Structure 1
Amino acid sequence: MSARELITEHLDLWSGAVTKKSSSGRGSKGKVELTGVKKLRELILELAVRGKLVEQGIPTESSPNLVALMEQEKSRLVASGRIKKPKAVCSTQLESYPFDIPKAWGWYSLGALGYTQTGSTPSKSQNELFGSDIPFLKPGDISDNGDIFYENEGLSEAGKATLGKWAEKGSILMVCIGTIGKCGLIEQQCTFNQQINSVTPYIPEVSRFLMLCLKSPYFQAAAWEKSSSTTISILNKGKWESIPVPLPPLEEQHRIVQKVDELMALCDRLEQQTSDQLEAHETLVDTLLGTLTQSENATELADNWARLAAHFDTLFTTEQSIDKLKQTILQLAVMGRLVEQDDEDEPASHLLKCIDKEIGQRVSEGTIRKPKALAMVEGSFPYDLPKGWRWEKLGRFTLIGTGATPSRGRPDYYSPPEYPWVTSGETSQAFICDTKERVSSLAVKETNISIYPAGTLIVAMYGQGKTRGQITELKVAAGTNQACAAIQPIIKDESHRRYIKLCFIKLYDEIREVAAGGAQPNLNTGKIANTLIPLPPLTEQNRIVQKVDELMALCDQLKERINQASETRCQLAEAVVEKGLSA
């Protein structure tokens, strides 16, 4: 089977292998990686450098002839003083061959094929060294796909002269510190910093094939293998230029580059087609899920849900679509449209009266302080609620506290480690059964730490990335640091507590938006207490959380099936790659 057949006969496999890459937080859109197309691009490059991408004709020349021309050009450059005399060209020993190559090809170290340099940076205190005479490139100016951005920063002619090194048009740059392996072919003369190495082929016509070699999985793996790492990965120039490179005759290089361009264009079209299909699917899912939340009454909702349920297997085929279904379920739950209302249910106003009575009793017993009065709930609301429900602030029916961080200079505050101590980063878990750190009884006695009982809900008030607004539930008694709010429902009812948690998961994005601050916006207990909650009758809360559990379990089953299918497709793609390389 030819390379072309190997690729084109498996287009459905390449386009079907899709994985979720990342998401920025609860309720956010996850990025999707087209794993199959990525594997296909890698396969094309690997076949190219192994001499398996184009037919092998009767060679009219060999790579040693080409290297001889390189030697002549190198001697001319050295004699003219343009470059220093590099190490002599040497073939890789037979036992060191990474893989077999065609007879007319040869193995040579990267440094034998071109002049190599490591960049440097002029003194930032000398403004006259910077300007727009020549681009000054850094790793961020080289994209993952090899595009070069020349406009971000430049040097003056004086800056270029100070460095005494630059790369000519047709040179290949590779990042060799940090994001090792990113590389690009420059189309104009450039300078670059110390995180980048360059190779300028002695024969310019070699540049494009050499670029394919450096981007290939073989060379990328070799570069990482030769790198050293402490806190950051580093590949020095000596080790980089010693990596063996397979070199075909020049005529075959041109045919390989042309075939790679053709097949990469096919990958572009396949990638665009797959992305368009995913986008169209996402739009369809959004529209159909929107019919649920926009239903005017229970009958219309039931009809729309039945229509959706009949096509679950074709609609919910990606992790993104299932995550959106989960968000819609939560939206219907807090709007009072997920379960039927029962006229026999005691309204939320009755629940609030019971809560007021419980608060009064605890205040008189001295077990709690009298809560601060909250401003009345008034103004416009996000949506209308069913009969028996009411909008109410969280602080009206819960107790809200926070914690503290004992002095790190007091070892006796942390030893013996007796009480679990929650940090905001740990709120990413659905439940907390244990913590990374614990505090001592002395810390609880002498600091502002409170030990909250199991069942307390913990919300992150600030923290890095997606942390702010996350909610978790204590399964053990624990204290918290000052970056967490502890929410204790007045009524000790499991469904009530779970409904509050459900509301916070649904309101994740909205809660984050009310945070105040500059570089790191913060919530506080006052903002948490004033969070507006759609409060149903207590018995309906029980029905809601049961239905949510039932539907979330269905979503998890769908997601598991999708993950298994995606994993299978990725494994098949890997198998096809292996087949192509071993052919």
Structure 2
Amino acid sequence: MTVEKLITDHIDTWSSALQTRSTAGRGSNGKIDLYGIKKLRELILELAVRGKLVQQDQNDEPASELLKRIAAEKADLVKQGKIKKQKLLPDISEDEKPFELPDGWEWVRLNDISEYIQRGKGPKYSEQGSVKVVSQKCVQWNGFKLEQSRWITDESIHSYTEDRFLKDGDVLWNSTGAGGTAGRCIYLPVVKEKLVVDSHVTLIRTIRDNGKFISNYISTYGIQNRFDPKHSNTLLSGTTNQAELNSSVVTSFLAPFPPQREQERINEKTAELMSLCDLLEQQSLTSHNAHQQLVETLLATLIDSQNVEELDENWARISQHFDTLFTTEASINSLKQTILQLAVMGRLVPQDPNDEPASELLKRIEQEKAQLVKEGKIKKQKPLPPISDEEKPFELPSGWEWIRFGEILAELKYGTSQKCDYLTNGYPVLRIPNVVGGEVSLEDMKFGKLSEHEVKELSLEKDDLIFIRSNGSLNIVGQCTLLRQDLVNHAYAGYLIRAKMHNNFVCAEYISLMTKAVLIRNQIEKPVRTTTGVKNINSSELSNLKLTFPPLSMQMVIVEKVNALLSFCESLKSRLNSAQQTQLHLADALTDAVLN
């Protein structure tokens, strides 16, 4: 089977195998990882370097003859003083060879076929100049990004020998760092300006035009996999944070080496097939984006519904096409957000005119607050600014009210600043890892030496809300967790804020669900400030959040409806994940079948 036929016969497998985006590796784009196409790229490279991509031609001069001429040419360059004499490297043993090569091919060390292998040098930077220095940021899987380069000072140019300046056909290999930086490799067919590399990039210059094939081999999955410091045959040395590809590893690096004419045919076919992959990738992304836009447009009709009856009609139309609409994680997440938005707008369930209006609840909350202040159980709160008509993004049903979060709060309190550790005594303290994700986990608890008074002040009760107030990651700042049980003698850490509400008049689960809606998330993320790289939200900003507040019985009805619909969304996502895993396994199996 030709590779072209392999692509076309299994087009659905390659294009439908998707997963969460990975930032490392060629073939990633947008918020999804086109896993099937990435596997296809890997397969093309693997077939190329194993001699299975194009037909062998017995008339080709074998690589062994080419290697003799390369050795003679290197000796002549040494004699002329153009290159230094290289150290002899050990012969290649049979145990070192990872796979069998076709007739006419040879295993070589990079040093055998190169006239120059050298890491760059630390540059002296300048705002302007005549020579640019190439860093690891310039060497990307999706191309040579020279816009990431900087200038070196003109005064330092004389310290660079002629061989350090990049030439046509050079290979650049990132040589520092783990996690996708070290290992990235690129071939430069044409160099149009004066360039050097910095000390984190290795320059490989082959005697003949063999750089493209070598670059493709370095880019294969099997080689890139060895840029994990934990790999049993890793190419890196040093610590995980400062992993290095040493020059000695590069010079002795083992690579397959085909006849020169076959290399040219392989390089041409590889480029042609990669272009097909580019086209397939673009078509997949275009299709995916169009699908998501369609979903967003149809879900907008739900938001625009004027009443529950119109919403039911629009929902019925969309539900007829669930199998084709909600086929991606992004589309299901959009559906979940639409459900939450409809809930906060009061359009998810029918209103009951017999419900006591929210305005009466707010009056009783004020009365209860005044009594608690009088009894010394809570402090008197500062008045909150009224919500102007301009601040209200939509009209609420009769009986609902726009409120500030602080209006329904009995207390907002920061956690303990005491240091916590794995103590044998002390009080358990909830930290961010115990509440991230919206559920309380009592695993991996730490303990603090707190006074009995502090524990009493910070003790947690059922229906308390815990907010993450500070973290390095913006997307979890303000995240809310509802406590579904009393946690007697448990405290919480200083990066958290506890909210206690007047639970006789407020359904805590309604508030918890509403904090996940875009209406609230946008407010939470807007005031987030950055100090020394740590993002945070304070109690004043939480108190001022604008919420929609329905009658108490309506809050409970909404919670029941939202939970049922979100559970349905989770079942959709579970089925989707199962189907995606099947597609991923198919792509893997197809790749393995071809190679083996």
TM-score by length of 1: 0.91
Deviation readout 1:80-113 (Å, 9 max, x if unpaired): 3232111347752233221011111000012211
After superposition, where does 1:199-278 map in structure 2 within 5 Å?
A: 199-203=204-208, 205-222=209-226, 224=228, 225-232=234-241, 233-278=243-288
**Correspondence for 2:480:** 471
**Correspondence for 2:150:** 153
Q: CA deviation at 1:425?
A: 5.8
After superposition, where does 1:174-573 map in structure 2 within 5 Å?
A: 174-178=173-177, 179-186=181-188, 187-188=190-191, 190-203=195-208, 205-222=209-226, 224=228, 225-232=234-241, 233-380=243-390, 381-408=392-419, 415=423, 417-424=425-432, 426-434=434-442, 436=444, 438-440=446-448, 442-443=450-451, 445=453, 450-465=458-473, 466-474=475-483, 475=485, 476-477=487-488, 478-492=490-504, 496-506=507-517, 507-516=520-529, 520=534, 522-573=536-587
Provide the C-alpha distance between the structure 1 equivalents of 2:521 and 2:119, rounded to a whole number of angstroms.
48
More displaced 10-residue stretch of structure 1: 384-393 or 428-437: 428-437
Q: CA deviation at 1:439?
A: 4.2
In structure 2, the residue corresponding to 1:260 is in which secondary structure? helix
Cα separation, partners in 2 of 1:433 and 1:249, compared to 1, 3 Å: closer
Determine if contact 1:403/1:449 at 8 Å carries over to the other structure. Answer: no
Provide the C-alpha distance between the structure 2 equivalents of 1:219 and 1:414, rounded to a whole number of angstroms.
41
Q: Which amino acid aligns with 1:264?
A: M
Number of aligned residues: 568
Q: CA deviation at 1:2?
A: 2.9
Q: CA deviation at 1:550?
A: 0.6
In structure 2, the residue corresponding to 1:543 is in which secondary structure? helix
Determine if contact 2:472/2:535 at 8 Å carries over to the other structure. Answer: no
Cα separation, partners in 2 of 1:11 and 1:229, compared to 1, 3 Å: farther
Percent identity, aligned pairs only? 35
In structure 2, the residue corresponding to 1:500 is in which secondary structure? helix
Determine if contact 2:431/2:493 at 8 Å carries over to the other structure. Answer: yes
Provide the C-alpha distance between the structure 2 equivalents of 1:53 and 1:540, rounded to a whole number of angstroms.
66
Provide the C-alpha distance between the structure 1 equivalents of 2:262 and 2:493, rounded to a whole number of angstroms.
66
After superposition, where does 1:71-86 map in structure 2 within 5 Å?
A: 71-86=71-86
Q: CA deviation at 1:571?
A: 0.7
Provide the C-alpha distance between the structure 2 equivalents of 1:446 and 1:354, rounded to a whole number of angstroms.
30
Q: Which amino acid aligns with 2:462?
A: A
Q: Identify unmatched segments of 5+ residues in structure 2.
A: 24-28, 229-233
Provide the C-alpha distance between the structure 2 equivalents of 1:579 and 1:265, rounded to a whole number of angstroms.
23
**Correspondence for 2:100:** 100
In structure 2, the residue corresponding to 1:401 is in which secondary structure? strand
Provide the C-alpha distance between the structure 2 equivalents of 1:460 and 1:278, rounded to a whole number of angstroms.
34
Provide the C-alpha distance between the structure 1 equivalents of 2:61 and 2:88, rounded to a whole number of angstroms.
22
In structure 1, the residue corresponding to 2:202 is in which secondary structure? strand
In structure 2, the residue corresponding to 1:491 is in which secondary structure? coil
Cα separation, partners in 2 of 1:563 and 1:490, compared to 1, 3 Å: same
Q: CA deviation at 1:73?
A: 2.5
Cα separation, partners in 2 of 1:131 and 1:526, compared to 1, 3 Å: closer
Deviation readout 1:172-221 (Å, 9 max, x if unpaired): 01112112210112332532122211210011x21221221111223323
Provide the C-alpha distance between the structure 2 equivalents of 1:370 and 1:36, rounded to a whole number of angstroms.
61
In structure 1, the residue corresponding to 2:516 is in which secondary structure? helix
Determine if contact 1:59/1:104 at 8 Å carries over to the other structure. Answer: no
**Correspondence for 2:231:** none
After superposition, where does 1:160-179 map in structure 2 within 5 Å?
A: 160-164=157-161, 165-178=164-177, 179=181
Cα separation, partners in 2 of 1:151 and 1:502, compared to 1, 3 Å: closer
Determine if contact 1:62/1:249 at 8 Å carries over to the other structure. Answer: yes
Cα separation, partners in 2 of 1:484 and 1:223, compared to 1, 3 Å: closer
Q: Does 1:135 align with 2:149?
A: no
Determine if contact 1:91/1:106 at 8 Å carries over to the other structure. Answer: no
Determine if contact 1:111/1:199 at 8 Å carries over to the other structure. Answer: no
Q: Which amino acid aligns with 2:594?
A: G
Deviation readout 1:214-263 (Å, 9 max, x if unpaired): 11223323455222242322221112222211111010011101110110
Q: Identify unmatched segments of 5+ residues in structure 1.
A: 24-28
In structure 1, the residue corresponding to 2:86 is in which secondary structure? coil
Provide the C-alpha distance between the structure 1 equivalents of 2:217 and 2:472, rounded to a whole number of angstroms.
39
**Correspondence for 1:26:** none
In structure 1, the residue corresponding to 2:515 is in which secondary structure? helix
What root-mean-square deviation, in Å, do the aligned CA atoms of Structure 1 and Structure 2 show? 2.6
